[in-house]
Copies of this chain bind each other. A is one copy, B any other.
């Protein structure tokens, strides 16, 4: 199988070591984003309008696209990948981050959440892939740590990585298990700060969102100095929803754009299909229970886009903070922390809602048309038609 690897740190080695697939790096041409089209959003974004606005947060993605035509399980076509979000860069598995999670609808997997809930800590990167590759990614994160981390001098180290998924079986040979450990290492090793590639990349490669092509999207908010000046970043792997329900800028645009509905075969045009994984990062010093509060606000951002959180949807959210970097220090006595008072959290809540809404639209705006298994074709949200609809409702800001 062909191996075309962009932006590799060890391209040749990886090419040799990977069993299958085409791995794209992150040096793609800049893509349009929702604001470029004049779509209005609330709040003030950070410099990159991306989760990487939070210092220390790195994103790495491995994109696997190969083959065409009829599905042959184990052969392809392949439309899948892995996205890695590292809370504290290379230290993400030694220096833990306070975290909280929430499931709006649990038809999905996010491993490691039982320990997040118990301990209050995220002790690994957050990985996102397809539904049937969660296992390989999980164990590979451990293997990566074994290979890269400091030696385990206590002989009692273990890890419970956080790995989430959405289902790409409409476009991808999902039962072919094309994600391999090497793809996971690549996503982790290539993770970096700066702009995040959006659309049909990484774990989001084969996703479908609100009846159009979905994938990875991101956005951020910068609080006013009066409100602490904190940053909140969101990254979504967007695979949920039905066209009938889609609202952008509050307008039910899904009903007004003529386009084939990839899920027209479903029993009802209200039924949703697919999932959304949302990662929320902040540099505000918030405690685990406060991060759970932020995770619960993701639902309100998704609500703005018209979702009903259908039965088939895995709508699972995790929020972490890069503040309190010493919280997981190995210490016999107590460690020192800081906490934003509950009374000061509303701007963080608003930022979470707003950045979630925008990240979803960014994912759809960045995505392009894709044909996958058995000729299944999913059209991207057409920019000009979208603008035309919003203009009819006086909802364009430029």
Contact = CB atoms under 8 A, between A and B. Distances in A.
A345 interface: yes
A118 interface: yes
Interface residues of A, number: 113
A155 B170 contact: yes
Interface string A162-178: 01000101100011010
Contacts of A112: 109
B139 A135 contact: yes
A110 B114 contact: yes
Contacts of A301: 303
A327 B345 contact: no
A297 B308 contact: yes
Contacts of A133: 139
Interface string A111-141: 1111101111100000000011111111110
B132 A158 contact: yes
A316 to B, nearest CB: 6
A325 interface: no
A310 interface: yes
Contact of A107 (B115, B288, B327): B115
Nearest to A301: B303
A257 interface: no
Nearest to A230: B334
A347 B268 contact: yes
A285 interface: yes
A111 B136 CA distance: 13
A344 to B, nearest CB: 7
Interface of A: 42, 73, 103-115, 117-121, 131-140, 142-143, 146, 155-160, 163, 167, 169-170, 174-175, 177, 226-228, 245, 247, 249-252, 268, 270-273, 285, 287-290, 293, 296-297, 299-304, 306-312, 314, 316, 327-347, 349-350, 352-353, 374, 392-395
Which 4 A-B pairs rank lowest in CB-CB distance, beginning with the nearest? A303-B303, A250-B250, A106-B118, A135-B139
30 contacts: A104-B296, A104-B299, A104-B300, A109-B114, A109-B160, A111-B111, A111-B134, A113-B114, A131-B160, A135-B138, A135-B139, A142-B175, A143-B175, A158-B167, A245-B350, A250-B250, A250-B252, A270-B346, A270-B347, A272-B346, A288-B289, A296-B299, A311-B342, A311-B345, A311-B349, A312-B343, A327-B339, A331-B341, A333-B344, A335-B341
